[in-house]
A = this chain, B = another copy of it.
Amino acid sequence: MAKKPVTACLIIIGNEILSGRTQDTNLAYLAKELNELGVRMVEARVIPDVEETIVDTVNECRAKFDYVFTTGGIGPTHDDITADCIALAFDTELELHPDVVELIKRREAPPEVMESRLRMARIPKGAALIENPTGGPPGFQMENVFVMAGVPMVMQAMATTFNKERIPGGDPLRSRSIGAYLSESKVAVNLGAIQEEHPDVDLGSYPFYRQDGYGTNLVMRGTDEAELDEMLGKVRQMIVDFGVEPFEE
């Protein structure tokens, strides 16, 4: 039996993602990083910069998943409302965090600019900071909710500070991948049979269309390396039996 996986949900906050103006890349990045800690990304939500939506989504997801990560909305402007929403969700208040105030004041600025910058020192009572190795203001962790920047470079820098002590997980998922110029329909029955023999491994089939033809990529994902190798052998043999050369990426 596979152990119950440790789960995470990513909440992507930002009108610019929903309008199509900005392409999110944080989901794919964080999913891979968390997997190395044995935490499985099992859902993501993209929501607008709307207080009620953010509060409700955070509260729903923090009850439903082991970890929740948010990206976006922690800058210094009027549309950066994530910290306020997290405080509301946890029924607590924001306070100026002395370490963040000190960090921000290290760089001088006119009073008006400093006041805007100090918005980024407003951290919910009881939250722990998430260090920001780019030198900018940190994110923060409130119970199982990790609040991060939306700019990928900054989010990725914050993610480098995560480790198994802070984010305990289970076994990482490992994968095997093999492809062939065979249609999904051709391999469907055999794939179904192989999947049934290995219920603890997720076997996905992904059609591709290239200039030199179409085919299918087959991806196995599970925690047991030996079982993955066994399954890969079966899938490889199936492809060869169709008289086609498999390619492994």
Contact of A15 among B32, B49, B202 (CB under 8 A): B202
A41 contacts across to B, CB distance below 8 A: 18-20
A69 → B minimal CB distance (Å) = 13
A112 to B29, CA, bound (A): 39
User: A53 CA to B209 CA in the complex, in Å?
Assistant: 29
Contact flags A36-53 to B (C-beta < 8 A → 1, else 0): 000001111111110001
Kindly state whether residue A17 has any CB partner on chain B within 8 Å: yes
In the assembly, what is the distance between CA of A121 and CA of B79, in Å? 46
Known contacts A151-B209, A205-B77, A27 near B17 by CB under 8 Å? yes
Would you call B20 and A115 a contact (CB within 8 A)?
no
Q: Which of A83-91, A163-171, A182-190 contacts B (4 or more CB under 8 A)?
A: A182-190
Which of chain B's residues have a CB closer than 8 A to the CB of A32?
A: 19-20
* Interface size, A (range): 35 or more
Contact assessment for A28 and B23 in the assembled complex, using a CB-CB cutoff below 8 Å: yes
Per-residue interface assignment for chain A, residues 5 to 25, with 1 indicating a CB less than 8 Å from any chain B CB and 0 otherwise:
000000000111111111111
User: Counting CB contacts under 8 A, is A31 at the interface?
Assistant: yes
Least Cβ distance of A104 to chain B in Å? 9
**Are B116 and A188 interface neighbours, CB within 8 A?**
yes
Provide the residues of chain B in CB contact with A192, threshold 8 Å: 77-78
**Interchain CA distance A119-B42 in the complex, whole Å:** 27
Q: Specify which of B48, B175, B188 is in contact with A76 (CB 8 Å cutoff).
A: B188
Taking the closest CB of chain B, its distance from the CB of A190, in whole angstroms, is: 9
Known: A27-B24, A185-B109. A79 touches B203 (CB 8 A): yes
- What 7 A-B pairs come out closest when comparing CB atoms? A116-B188, A20-B31, A44-B46, A20-B28, A78-B192, A20-B32, A117-B185
Chain A residues close to B by CB (< 8 Å): 14-25, 27-32, 35, 41-49, 53, 75-79, 109, 112-117, 119, 151, 153, 173, 175, 183-189, 191-192, 195, 202-207, 209, 219, 221
